[in-house]
Structure 1
């Protein structure tokens, strides 16, 4: 009987109203989470951020459906229900709330077909009617269609003050990033070979264009960063649809701000008036005040602020910049007007989050091999969080320095000058240590073996030179680059093997075996110095990978001058990054974008625009 009374009590009108209000409040919180963290997630690898976004994303539709059901089944009709329903639909329809959390969400065919239907109405390219003519069967656009297109050349040829001023180069590069993202999307659509990859002008675009000039490194990675931001937004958000709608959605968001402000004012007036007797029966607090109206008024103000923030986020996005620059280029009255140029310049100067984390994941085997996680989150979330395996403890991420970028790009340009993209032996030739060290690249069976052997050797060299004094700045820079890339490649083996040349199962198996080797050979060795001495003194006939790394370290330490040793290691790891970056597994790279991005993905995109789509299968590949 008590249980029945409790159930009836929970279903009383006032408690039902409280439940509805709590759910509406959670909807506003969810909107805030998706708006802020949804834009932030592409530059964060934090698990807490990803889990928070996932909860808000996964709970949105069930929560809205349940709340609307409570309203419909309510024995009374509150005049504020319609306002709350609109708030919930705003939660579902925001620019980030209904985006895909992962690529698996795009396998929902009904949603996919609906998306295609919407895009067929909005995307300007779908309005064009290209002809397919023999014998080449190329798509040919008529003159009217061509006149509607804004090309990169049109933007470069524009003489307006906006694009010829100090910030004009950066704005042009944003448009270039958009064009490149459309080309890169073909890789994600399943095209393994791009038509332009074998053309000489494709190589010229990379080496004579992006990688030409004094500040080419900063510019090249900035262009690729914005390009991958476009790719991320295309697959994971609705910004592409907003961009294609000629600012309809932005206009609606602008209109929402004063509308919500007016609604909040009217509801506050409603709160101040004394309710009649019929209303008092259904109020949460019958203290002669309609607190439901006050709650809704505050909620409307929050929605107005969030809509204003959403407008700012879009105006500060690269999509908005491209839209305004395209209009600017094609409208003579705009590009000839100083006032319009300054106005658009002010809008395009707005800033928001960086497009990616701009950090390198780091892992050191000889520090973390004995790590064993309690997997508390794994058990607490009923396997929603992945289980951490033995020996996998990530080091603190480090900022991707300009020294690392410059070293990799200089290696690419130098190898291109030689007409080759090597599989990690060109640098050994260049440093005249090929005959001493080539065995570590040619005798090991997989790329994972090579990476981990050189990672172990680099770590041991770092320990060996830890107390060295009088090292010049060049050696210090080379050591920083070598250690950063060594730990990054080891991080890829441990945490992102799908981005490497070997099958992920092969890489994981090799790594797991290596962890067990380390636990056996280095048992009881607590300091890095003890571990270094143990590995360097192993029998040379032992072919276990950990011992191979120690033997390679011995060969490197035999190079008398530390500067020469770190030059060898720096050049090797730069070449290794270029060797492992080309890949046909575009999906693996696409999946890195919403979780902070990866440096190897930026290199993958950069090389693709130079026609380098695959890793060399022999000693070297012409580029």
Structure 2
């Protein structure tokens, strides 16, 4: 049928007819085989995607990337189970079915950088084991069926079977230690070690420059591990290893800094301490894990850590902030990998060489597949079915070759990423400290130095931004966020519209770490900076509100007001103040669990402020008009107790001061307040944000947790 212009028109009946033909073709043996190949190819693609982009989760906060990774992680398991069922239940046979089925099982545990999508996945380790056992039985059944007709496949099966066992075991072992069941085994020993008076000296007796007296554990010998945990991994009853003399079997931070090798010498190959700091970051990571098992350290341990941070890491005014941030970055990288990857298991004693065994099995299996399997698939007989082109080319063989090529590429890429990972660097450095024969060995020192100097960006290194005066009137789409979708996607509340993130500048890091160094171990919510600038009597009222959420929003509104009325783009303090102001406002709007207030209170306060802004600024659509309105209400506030009016009043108080003084006051205030909100008992919330690009406040949380810094309590009488 054609229209007046001669174009062909497809009717509804023709569409139905064509769909019926497609369905009928899929029900034929050739159609079912093509569908199985499509599923196997899809799983191979998902594996390639997870292996290539899985580690980007902690380097990028792109929402679309998170959705795609979640879909790949979730769909792969369902596709594997469904495809294995199709192979077993199909009315025909294909000589490549057992090979494809084995590939599917291997794919399930092949991404070393992606063992779990969320913390809850780690608690499902028993379900994972049972699921794998059931599918493993189905795989054996399938192989048995084909081995009886083609015994030459036995060698191929054995090689891929070894590879399958290694891959699935790695992922299973990576889940168990992270779960509540196994999280506190090794860390209990670390807690006892750090609590021992012999290894936790008086803070005045340690030297944070030479690390003398710092007995932080970096690595234990295999012999000591066997003494502590026994052969089955459970702690021995009545064993008190802390009281025994095992100094020779433990590498500590003190030993790393005392190493005589040129590679780790501060006057030789490690002038900037970057190599030794990898070991320091790992030692601090072990201490940070104590928070997840609720083990407490004595006050002396926190005091020695505070001396390490203040007088060691931050001792240099020029690059102390950069070193502190770098140490925290690597520490959180270890923490992320512990919860979300296979690396902690792979780099255990005697396990990492198995990756080479896996690659050899894959290469040999590929060669045997080409020799014994591929040629036999060109002549289907009896109930055997395969797809062949008109030129006689076997599509099944071509697809198998593509699967193998993808698998080999993935393994090579993952081996390279493992070789330059922080876990590999730590292992090389610990062996260098332990083996004096490596000291002075120039080829070995060059190799280790080369590996340790290769560094990928570990985190996003950005400050996410939120401007309340620009976004308070944002209303999310009801088509996307409603009662029907609440069980499938996160709810976006009114006013939640995130701005473009900014780079975490050196000026911001210097301001915050300078405030940390000068805090004297007590964190205040900005009042110390006001005293230093002689404006405490005038402005301290804005630090004494009922909740820290109100404090943040009052100062954020005032800073936004002054950003428009008194801009100073050439002043570094201007950028520090505005960036940190919008960052803490972002935490209020999007990550309130990382703040001191209770989650429910923080969300209620934010919703209340949003309603206040809509009432006060109703009809003012342009940003300049809103700023002008704030100027008006600052002079004659209708309700002086609202956050909007308090923010306007605070901005008006600062408006009359010199522009340089304004931004000096605000920069130092926001740097101090950023530190004040960093301490947190909700370690789980910080770990959950590690797979979202990381948060600057999480880096600070790690450092202040080691130092045991607490917030200075506010006087209830002064709170309003």
Q: Is TM-score (shorter-chain normalized) higher than 0.5?
A: yes
2:62 pairs with 1:46? yes
2:646 pairs with 1:545? no
- Tell me which residue corresponds to 2:345: 241
Q: Distance in 2 between matches of 1:355 and 1:200?
A: 29
- Tell me which residue corresponds to 2:609: 514
2:667 pairs with 1:566? no
Could you tell me which of 543, 568, 578 is aligned with 1:441? Answer: 543
Asked if 2 retains the 8 angstrom alpha-carbon contact of 1:257 and 1:305, the reply is no
C-alpha deviation, 1:334, in angstroms: 2.6
Q: Secondary structure at the match of 1:592?
A: helix
Q: Secondary structure at the match of 1:449?
A: helix
Show the 5 A alignment for 1:112-191.
115=173, 124=222, 126-129=225-228, 139-140=241-242, 142-143=244-245, 145-164=246-265, 165-167=268-270, 169-191=273-295
Asked if 1 retains the 8 angstrom alpha-carbon contact of 2:84 and 2:101, the reply is yes
- Tell me which residue corresponds to 2:528: 426
2:464 pairs with 1:361? yes
C-alpha deviation, 1:596, in angstroms: 0.8
Asked if 1 retains the 8 angstrom alpha-carbon contact of 2:555 and 2:650, the reply is yes
Asked if 1 retains the 8 angstrom alpha-carbon contact of 2:558 and 2:651, the reply is yes
User: Which deviates further from its counterpart, 526-535 or 19-28?
Assistant: 526-535
Asked if 2 retains the 8 angstrom alpha-carbon contact of 1:372 and 1:390, the reply is yes
Change (3 A) 1:325 1:565: same
Q: Distance in 2 between matches of 1:375 and 1:265?
A: 56
Asked if 2 retains the 8 angstrom alpha-carbon contact of 1:324 and 1:344, the reply is yes
2:105 pairs with 1:89? yes
Change (3 A) 1:256 1:370: farther
- Tell me which residue corresponds to 1:218: 322
Show the 5 A alignment for 1:181-580.
181-191=285-295, 193-196=296-299, 199-213=302-316, 214-246=318-350, 247-255=352-360, 258-259=363-364, 262=367, 266=371, 270=375, 275=379, 281-283=385-387, 285=389, 287-352=391-456, 354-374=457-477, 378=481, 383-416=487-520, 420-442=522-544, 444-466=545-567, 473=570, 476-538=571-633, 539-540=636-637, 542=639, 543-559=641-657, 561-580=658-677
What CA deviation, in whole Å up to 9, does each residue of 1:173-198 have, x standing for no partner? 1111111100000112234x433566
Change (3 A) 1:218 1:70: same
Change (3 A) 1:276 1:175: same
Change (3 A) 1:257 1:335: farther
Change (3 A) 1:372 1:55: same
What CA deviation, in whole Å up to 9, does each residue of 1:128-147 have, x standing for no partner? 3389999xx9752644x543
What CA deviation, in whole Å up to 9, does each residue of 1:105-161 have, x standing for no partner? 223262699648976999956423389999xx9752644x54332222222222223
Asked if 1 retains the 8 angstrom alpha-carbon contact of 2:476 and 2:494, the reply is yes
Change (3 A) 1:375 1:309: farther
C-alpha deviation, 1:40, in angstroms: 0.8
Asked if 1 retains the 8 angstrom alpha-carbon contact of 2:470 and 2:623, the reply is yes
Change (3 A) 1:23 1:227: same
TM value normalised by structure 2: 0.77
Q: Distance in 1 between matches of 2:105 and 2:361?
A: 13
Asked if 2 retains the 8 angstrom alpha-carbon contact of 1:45 and 1:357, the reply is yes
Asked if 2 retains the 8 angstrom alpha-carbon contact of 1:448 and 1:502, the reply is yes
Asked if 2 retains the 8 angstrom alpha-carbon contact of 1:14 and 1:283, the reply is yes
Q: Distance in 2 between matches of 1:117 and 1:546?
A: 48
What CA deviation, in whole Å up to 9, does each residue of 1:554-613 have, x standing for no partner? 111122x1001111111111110111111111111111101111111100101112221x
How many matched pairs? Answer: 602
2:689 pairs with 1:592? yes
Asked if 1 retains the 8 angstrom alpha-carbon contact of 2:115 and 2:342, the reply is yes
User: Which deviates further from its counterpart, 92-101 or 380-389?
Assistant: 380-389
C-alpha deviation, 1:219, in angstroms: 0.8
C-alpha deviation, 1:300, in angstroms: 0.7
Q: Distance in 2 between matches of 1:347 and 1:569?
A: 42
Q: Distance in 2 between matches of 1:36 and 1:133?
A: 44
Q: Distance in 1 between matches of 2:676 and 2:283?
A: 26
C-alpha deviation, 1:50, in angstroms: 0.7
C-alpha deviation, 1:356, in angstroms: 1.1
- CA-based RMSD of the aligned residues comes to 3.1
Change (3 A) 1:260 1:132: closer
Q: Distance in 2 between matches of 1:301 and 1:283?
A: 20
User: Which deviates further from its counterpart, 236-245 or 253-262?
Assistant: 253-262
TM value normalised by structure 1: 0.89
User: Which deviates further from its counterpart, 584-593 or 330-339?
Assistant: 330-339
Change (3 A) 1:91 1:447: same
Asked if 1 retains the 8 angstrom alpha-carbon contact of 2:46 and 2:76, the reply is yes
| Structure 1 spans left out of the alignment, 5+ residues | none
Change (3 A) 1:479 1:158: same
- Tell me which residue corresponds to 2:116: 100
C-alpha deviation, 1:86, in angstroms: 2.5
C-alpha deviation, 1:373, in angstroms: 2.1
Asked if 2 retains the 8 angstrom alpha-carbon contact of 1:583 and 1:615, the reply is no
Q: Secondary structure at the match of 1:583?
A: coil
Asked if 1 retains the 8 angstrom alpha-carbon contact of 2:92 and 2:385, the reply is no
Change (3 A) 1:259 1:615: farther
